[in-house]
Amino acid sequence: MFEISATHPRLPALFDVNVPNSPILFSVLRGENPGRAFADDEANPSQAAVRTNDALVFLSQGAPQAFLDETLTHLGQFGQVGLIWRPSRALPRPPQAPEIIPRREFTIGGANSQTLAALESRLPKGYELRQIDRGLLERCEWKSTIESGCGSLDNFLVYGLGICLMRGNDIITEVYAPFWGLDQVEISVVTNQAYRRRGYATTACAQLIRLCRERGFEPYWSCEAFNIAALNLAARLGFRGERDYEIRLYRDASA
């Protein structure tokens, strides 16, 4: 197994465009977010694996069992492996994982423009929606999460997009679009615990979805399968086309 550039021109064609969390994968393959790529051949790869900065691992389509096994062994040298996997997938089969995180993705983006406009209009008096800049990002609850996933705050500010719902100088809700795929962009959101269950996340997400569509990208949503709040928010925003998948966690081989 060889480590090659994540932006190797032959890599994108090796991966299924419908793989779960595909916006993360393809943002790495374009060089917009950090990651490492490993393949069976340096010059002309026919099988490959990509490991993101957050240890998510994507396997190329059609990979044989031997390549999957080698991938898990080799990448385990660099830390934990979080293999993206759809349980219904045919062979190969990954080995039993110490931990499996059930997740759900929504493959069809949010509501139409009229519905989104109505959701945006629910902004309460005294609140405002502001695009995330350096100053806001430094104060955000998910600052470290964004920094880890994107490699740096600067990287997010160059390639990503975010919205904060504000009350005065207080950040109430943060909504992010850090990973831009082929034609989809992954959306994530967090609301200050003291302000949850009031519809603020719905309003902020509606604006971010509109801004993403203005750039020509459809929103993509994924969350843990038992995160009821996230599933309900996805429904309010009009996401559909649900599919289940897993993150299979394998421990650091050096631990």
pLDDT (0 to 100) of residue 254: 57
Which tens digits make up the pLDDT trace of 62-104? Answer: 999 999 999 999 999 999 999 999 987 666 889 999 999 999 9
Looking at the chain, the whole-number percentage of residues with pLDDT higher than 90 is: 88
Domain boundaries, the chain: 2-104, 110-238
pLDDT (0 to 100) of residue 230: 96
Cα→Cα distances 254→50, 75, 76, 84, 102, Å = 20, 11, 8, 21, 26
Residue 130 makes CB contacts below 8 A (sequence gap 6+) with 136, 163, 164, 166
In sequence order, what DSSP letters do the residues of 200-220 get, joined into one string?
HHHHHHHHHHHHHHHTT-EEE
Average pLDDT of 45-67? 95
More confident residue, 158 or 194: 158
pLDDT (0 to 100) of residue 174: 97
Cis peptide before 9 (omega within 30 of 0): no
pLDDT band at 253 (very low <50, low <70, confident <90, very high): low
Average pLDDT of 182-210? 94
CA pair distance 26, 178, nearest whole angstrom: 12
Domain 110-238: which CATH number of 3.40.50.720, 3.40.630.30, 3.40.50.300, 3.30.70.100: 3.40.630.30
pLDDT (0 to 100) of residue 210: 95
pLDDT (0 to 100) of residue 109: 87
Give the mean pLDDT of the chain: 94
Residue identified by tokens 């740096």 is: 152
pLDDT (0 to 100) of residue 252: 75
Which tens digits make up the pLDDT trace of 158-169? Answer: 999 999 999 999
Average pLDDT of 7-20? 96
pLDDT band at 35 (very low <50, low <70, confident <90, very high): very high
